[in-house]
Amino acid sequence: MRTSFLTLPQAPLQAFRLPWLAAAQVEAAILRLDLIDPLISGNKWFKLRGHLAHAHANRAPGLISLGGNHSNHLHALAGAGKRFGFATAGLLRGEPHDTPTVRDLQRLGMTLHWLGYGGYRARHQADFWSPWQARYPGWQCIPEGGGTADGVQGCASIVEQAQAQLAALGWADYDAWWLAAGTGTTLAGLVVAEAGAHAVHGALAVPRGHGVGQTVEQLAGSVGYQLHDACRGGFGRFDDELLAFVARSERHSGVPLEALYTGKALLALHEQVEAGAFAPGTRLIFLHTGGLQGRRGYL
Ligand X SMILES: *Cc1c(COP(=O)(O)O)cnc(C)c1O
Tell the smallest beta-carbon distance from residue 135 to ligand X (Å).
Answer: 26
Taking each helix axis from N to C end, the angle separating 212-220 and 185-194, rounded to the nearest 10 degrees, works out to 30
* Closer residue to ligand X (CB): 60 or 181: 181
CA–CA separation, 156 and 221 (whole Å): 14
For residue 179, list its beta bridge partners.
202
Q: According to the binding rule CB under 6 A, does residue 261 interact with ligand X?
A: yes
29 vs 266, which CB is nearer to ligand X?
266
Distance CA 154, CA 43 (A): 9
Instruction: Name the minimum Å distance from CB 25 to ligand X.
Output: 27
Q: Which of 14, 65, 69, 72 binds ligand X (CB under 6 A)?
A: 72
At residue 93, the 3 state secondary structure works out as coil
Smallest distance from ligand X to CB 138, Å? 26
42 binds ligand X (CB under 6 A): yes
| Window contacting ligand X (CB under 6 A); options: 1-9, 244-252, 266-274, 283-291 | 283-291
Closest to 207 in 3D by CA, of 189, 241, 181: 181
Closest separation in Å from C-beta 188 to ligand X: 8
Segment contacting ligand X (CB under 6 A): 105-113, 223-231, 233-241, 289-297?
Answer: 289-297
Closest residue by beta carbon to ligand X: 291
Inter-residue contact 43 to 73 (CB < 8 Å): no
Whichever of 24 and 190 has its CB closer to ligand X, that residue is 190
Site residues for ligand X, window 137-196 (CB under 6 A)? 145, 180-187
| Helices then strands, each counted (H, E), the chain | 11, 10
Pairing of strands 283-288, 199-204: unpaired
Q: Closest separation between CB of residue 190 and ligand X, Å? A: 10
Verify binding: residue 65, ligand X, rule CB under 6 A. no
Rule CB under 6 A: say whether 293 interacts with ligand X: no
Residue 274 CB, shortest distance to ligand X, in Å, is 23
Short-list 82, 92, 88, 209, CA closest to 144: 92
What's the rounded Cα separation, in Å, for the pair 147 and 128? 16
Please give the Cα distance from 54 to 247 (Å, whole number): 40
Contacts with ligand X, residue ranges (CB under 6 A): 42-43, 72-73, 145, 180-187, 261-262, 289-291
